[in-house]
Amino acid sequence: MKNAPVLDREHLFQLTEGDMEFEHELLATFRASVQLILPRLRAAVSSGDSTRIMREAHALKGASLNVGATAMGRCAGAIEEALRAGDMALAAESTRELDSEEAALWAELDRLRAER
């Protein structure tokens, strides 16, 4: 999402209180969770199942914003908003934006892991 950081490091630092081991575990758990949510979300979009889309987008938004993956969280929120407005085409478009957000986030997490 425009103007949203891929990863809000300050939020993550506050959440983990600077504990790098906890940060690593938290991000690994987050990544595993998102790698389950995204295929379900994309499948729901493909089938046009708005209830499932809403559920998966909400789960993705919560998980993302919890760890500071702001851009992904905002994108998931945009999907929810589009569905509330009854705009399935906009929800599908926002879901496609997740591809670039996902790639950028994994690249950032890989970069962080390499720094340690």
Q: Which CATH architecture has domain 20-115?
A: Up-down Bundle (1.20)
Q: Is 111 exposed, middle or buried (0-12, 13-18, 19+ CB in 10 A)?
A: exposed
What are the residue ranges spanned by the domains of the chain? 20-115
pLDDT values of the chain reduced to their tens digit, one per residue, 116 residues: 567 899 999 999 999 999 999 999 999 999 999 999 999 999 999 999 999 999 999 999 999 999 999 999 999 999 999 999 999 999 999 998 998 899 999 999 999 888 87
Dist. CA 48–CA 3, nearest whole Å: 29
Q: What is the pLDDT of residue 7?
A: 95
